[in-house]
Amino acid sequence: MTKENVFRGALCGIVTWALGLPWELLYLWVLLMVLDIITGVISACLQGNFSSREMKFGLFRKTLDVVIMITILTIQRVASLNGFDVPIGSIIVGAFCFKESTSIIEN
């Protein structure tokens, strides 16, 4: 992921937060993750290089992304309860959506 992609994803997250759509963006991220897995498996099968090792590695990375997201959203919620309204969760979700979208296009 390049710095340019991270910037675009963060910008998407800020705009989404400003519009009040963080949960919808979270749903979109989950949908994009599922589509990425499906298109990745189909692409690997069509190319004849499906590997369970690569599949495990990809699923591990997706699980790590979910853990990171849960942690960030928890921190954001605690900060919000203490009077700090920080859109960090929306920014990160936007970056993850952009990452998943580019991955789907690559497949």
Looking at residue 2, what is its pLDDT? 67
Residue 20 confidence (pLDDT) above 80: no
The angle at the Cα of 18, spanning 79 to 94, to the nearest 5 degrees, equals 80
CA 54 to chain centre: 19
Looking at residue 60, what is its pLDDT? 94
CA 76 to chain centre: 17
pLDDT tens figures, 34-81: 999 999 999 999 998 888 898 999 999 999 998 888 888 788 878 878
Q: Is 107 helix (H, G, I), strand (E, B) or coil?
A: coil
- What is this structure's pTM? 0.74
CA distance 76 to 59: 25
56-42-37-32 Cα dihedral, nearest 10 degrees: 170
